[in-house]
Structure 1
């Protein structure tokens, strides 16, 4: 492929060009997409005789919060240092999802004579005014919102069909099997049973925390210090009786990405016999009754 010629600037010297690439998750398919983006832009820059390759900035993160995008933050810092003249990006939505925040950053760069080129929209920020750019960014934000809603629709359709959706990466007592179904980890399951037994013996979460730490029992992530809130959540987690309750939380605003407890705003879906239980239902119900009496 011979990339089209893009005349970013009338400078005579070579343009110092970088690129920014981002995917939302580290799933194998998306990670492959990230590597493809990085290779594509590096090749494009290096093969252009009028450009000087600077570096590829990248992130595996949502575009919602810049604090979760170290590659993005480094790019902004390097821009302030004047280390590049132009940045290539696949699309405006890859650069940022919030219209106001993205426009503010682009304006700062323009004042420093740094441009951004979004390939999918075919936009060179040095050649469009703020009004036109605002329209393009609003369109990109709306497209991101639409994609977000489509993803949510697909997830809820899976929930209605009874297909369990598990987002956890660390879950004491279980691991994910090849088919995504929870599989018991015997030594961890004993810890879970011990926590339930201790609670029914009259111990509160603080005493249980002390017991676990004094006996050198580690958390799911290998930590020696337990959180009382973690223990409390374990005692109410329906997955330990082989059930999965889906959509306990939801995200009202895709721009903030903040999850809220689902207190009836959306339907919840309970899948029974989703996997092998660690705790029997009678024990679980006794624990719930005791927790209710403590409130």
Structure 2
């Protein structure tokens, strides 16, 4: 395999040996190991009078990624004319992406006068070689192999996610990986306090931007910075990292903090590209009750409602808390009412459309915040008082006691029958093993019990659905009782009771509740 140039001069080959092994290739055994690749290539070269200049090794790098340190160093040596022959064990060691592999094989190497040899595939770009003609097909096959491996890995990862097993490298901020089970979490005492504080600050009326400013002003390390100082996480940019609104929003919207393992919140755009896209929350994989919660479900749900309503802090300068923020809308145009202070320092609300565009788009709906807040609270108290005066809570409690007792009694009966069926089937199986009953009789009888279990299961689900429905029905009544008992109304309660509040051009207030409102005159 001696070579001559166009002037019939003998070519001295300076060889660059390229070796690559990915994590997936490790599963194929010794045949793809770095040491085995080295032996094959060196044995091949020993038959020729070639100079080995450098051995380039990328261990643990995917063939789909050409941004490999040793590969890039080899390209630099090609540019500096240190090597003019590249040898690999086979074409897949060079790469598995058929587009990039084809580029280097058919464009880059010829342009740089580089000879390329893939030993096992019989590819040699010097001279006519029939195997060179099928190299594009081999590249496609290598690419398909990588795609198939990617699908299999993804399927395994999805199975782990569905089983509630954490598959990430690092636990979410606020948690640590459990040393006794790396697929679940334990609470990080220090970081979890910051998580709780973020939720508290948001419920108290602070915008995400305001929360970011508070955390940065207090020099509280952001999750990336914190991670770099408490585990093996490394990032060259970490010194410049600060809290940002996206980080705060990601924490506020993560169900992991209520004890539910939530994964698949983003995915790779392609098995060839190390870029990710966000997944809609409806497609997240969530398994409930996998670890200790940091935030209560009630607080989390309240925060999600606040985020959906896109409540913001409108006041500037002097800080204030808006109890009805995100709930008040213009009756005419449907846009939100915004806050500002008048000349006397009082906080007023007005239609945001009118504020921005004037009377050509909408009319003034100016109303004092204090007046609107008092109206809503008094309206809720009137509703609660009406229910109390009519003995509503007492009648509801009696109905709850009567129906609940019946449902729970029926549920206990079903559970008892479930246990009986379990013991019967176990006994039948033992009889079959002893030969007391035949296989045919065993299958016939167990089939009947299986059908009975299915019917009982359906009945149990119906009862549980009814009990859950009753729990939801009575939750609104409990909230109304809370309002009647306290002079200061909690925003958490208001968000669960009120759907929206509308103010028309005549300053008439209409409150739309999450429950059926009794017949009360709702005018000023």
Structure 2 CA distance for partners of 1:189 and 1:112, relative to 1, 3 Å: same
Distance 1:186 1:116 in 2: 57
CA radius of gyration, larger in: 2
Q: 1:128 to 1:190 in 2, by over 3 A?
A: farther
Q: Say which structure, 1 or 2, has more relative contact order (CA 8 Å, 6+ apart).
A: 1
Q: Contact 1:8–1:124 at 8 Å: present in 2 too?
A: no
- TM-superposed deviation, 1:16: 2.2
Residue 472 of structure 2: aligned partner: none
User: What is the correspondence of 1:189-268 to structure 2 with a 5 Å cutoff?
Assistant: 189-222=192-225, 225-251=242-268, 253-263=270-280, 268=284
Taking the TM superposition and a 5 Å limit, the aligned residue runs for 1:36-115 are 36-37=33-34, 39-42=35-38, 49=46, 50-51=49-50, 52-58=52-58, 60-66=60-66, 68-107=67-106, 108-115=108-115
User: In structure 2, how many angstroms separate the alpha carbons of the residues matched to 1:240 and 1:207?
Assistant: 22
Q: Tell me which moved more, 251-260 or 75-84.
A: 251-260
Residues 113 and 269 of structure 1: is their aligned pair in 2 closer, same or farther, counting only changes over 3 Å?
same
| Residues 1:20 and 1:145: Cα distance change in structure 2 (over 3 Å) | same
C-alpha deviation, 1:70, in angstroms: 3.1
1:4 corresponds in structure 2 to: none
Q: 1:85 to 1:244 in 2, by over 3 A?
A: same
* SS of match in other structure, 2:270: coil
TM-superposition CA deviations, 1:179-238 (whole Å, max 9, x none) = 212222111111111111111111111111111111121012225621211111111111
Distance 1:46 1:140, change over 3 A: closer
Shift of 1:43: 5.5
TM-score w.r.t. the length of structure 2 is 0.47
Deviations 1:250-282 (A, max 9, x none): 346323454333349x96432111222111111
Structure 1 pair 57–270 and aligned structure 2 pair: CA distance change class (3 A): same
State how far apart, in whole Å, the 2-side matches of 1:109 and 1:175 are.
48
Aligned equivalent of 1:169: 170
Cα deviations by residue, 1:151-180 (Å, 9 ceiling, x for unpaired): 2222233334x1423324363212223321
Gaps of 5+ in 1: 1-6
Asked if 1:188 corresponds to 2:191, the answer is yes
Residues 43/132 of structure 1: CA separation in 2 closer, same or farther (3 Å cut): closer
What is the aligned partner in structure 1 of residue 138 from structure 2? 136
- In structure 2, relative to structure 1, the CA distance for the partners of 1:57 and 1:256 (3 Å cut) is same
Structure 1 residue aligned with 2:158: 156
Higher helix share: 2
Q: What's the secondary structure of 1:278's corresponding residue?
A: coil
Q: Distance in 2 between matches of 1:17 and 1:277?
A: 55
Count matched residues.
280
Distance verdict in 2 for CA 1:121–1:194, change over 3 Å: farther
1:123 aligns with 2:101: no
Q: After the TM superposition, which of the residue ranges 13-22 and 43-52 deviates more from structure 2? A: 43-52
Q: Is the 8 A contact 2:16 2:56 kept in 1?
A: no
Counterpart Cα distance in 2 of 1:163 and 1:8? 60
CA contact (8 A) 2:41 2:88 kept: no
